[in-house]
Amino acid sequence: GEQVEQRPPHLSVREGDSAFITCTYTDPNSYYFFWYKQEPGASLQLLMKVFSSTEINEGQGFTVLLNKKDKRLSLNLTAAHPGDSAAYFCAVSATSGSFNKLTFGAGTRLAVCP
Amino acid sequence: GPKVLQIPSHQIIDMGQMVTLNCDPVSNHLYFYWYKQILGQQMEFLVNFYNGKVMEKSKLFKDQFSVERPDGSYFTLKIQPTALEDSAVYFCASSLDRNYAEQFFGPGTRLTVL
């Protein structure tokens, strides 16, 4: 089945620096891609969803890149601030043949220091 | 935005007892999911549920696990009997349809089996 590898497991950056997180996946039929943010003790908050037809997506303070050739999904937090400190998880979903089973990466614990 | 509620937030029980975790999904959603997250690890898919039936389950969904949603009430995960390795946070999610794929997550129930 699908396997998702996420790097790095821990990341510490200074306020104002960028933070870069990458996931690689194995199933070439993967079609939907997600980035979630999880603050301590809280549930997952959807940051962005990406469909396979798009390559670059911009959100508020971050950019998501999808490279289908390399089966790589990236999240770049630009100008990170302490409120960005959280765990970030990528998730991948197969095509419509599967009932939306999300496969998650192991997560990146991001600490943004003032 | 749409909210998924979970009751209780914490549950402590003795090994061998039965436990039922309750989820109140987004009101017009049709697909329901349970995920398990052991402390510090990624979220892992357990089961998805549609139209009164389990559509897909993972290896983690042991014979002691069952799900149901009687008469449109809570979507429940029952574990009977519980084992020590069932200690984890269980997240419920729901989605409007299968192909759109966006799942909304609840805040989780932290289950401790002693």
pLDDT tens digits for B31-63? 999 999 998 888 899 999 999 999 989 999 999
Token pair 């402390």: residue? B39
Contact B95 A89 (CB under 8 A): no
Do B32 and B94 contact (CB within 8 A), yes or no?
A: yes
Distance CA A99, CA B56 (A): 7
**pLDDT in the model for residue B99:** 62
**Contact A25/B at CB under 8 A:** no
| Mean pLDDT, range B89-94, rounded to an integer | 95
The C-alpha of A75 sits at a distance from chain B's nearest C-alpha, in angstroms, of: 17
Under the phi-then-psi rule, with left for phi > 0, alpha for psi from -120 to 50, and beta for the rest, what region is A79? left
Q: What is the mean pLDDT of each run of 10 residues along chain A (114 residues)?
A: 92 96 91 89 86 73 90 94 94 69 92 94
**Contact B106/A at CB under 8 A:** yes
The C-alpha of B100 sits at a distance from chain A's nearest C-alpha, in angstroms, of: 9
Of B41, B48, B108, the CB nearest to A101: B48
